[in-house]
Amino acid sequence: MHDRRSHCSTLRHAGDVEEVCYRVVVTGVVQGVGFRWACIREAQRLGVGGWVRNRADGAVEVVVEGEPIAVEELLQWCARGPAHARVSSTDVVTEEPRGMTDFDVAF
């Protein structure tokens, strides 16, 4: 389930480019399947900033920021995950953009 609580996100202008930021919690079989590392590769390919981390409850949490089209692509990827993941749901909420440009693992 890809739940977009607020499809209209807060926009921040970075030069002439509007940026959006979302936090997504991904549930299912998403830990121990390379989700974080695959997410980093996908985020870097798309040129978005943010972070990904495993949560104690078995979910994976992602914060992603960047151009709306690239961010949407990563949100769609999170709803599928890497080959061995079995995503049950995604809970997406809008956040204020913070100017993140790198994407890495958070602990």
Q: Which residues are catalytic?
A: 36, 54
- Residue pair 33/81 in contact (Cβ under 8 Å)? The answer is yes
* Beta strand extents in 7-47 (DSSP E only): 12-14, 17-29
- Residue pair 62/96 in contact (Cβ under 8 Å)? The answer is no
The amino acid sitting at 63 is V
Dist. CA 13–CA 103, nearest whole Å: 19
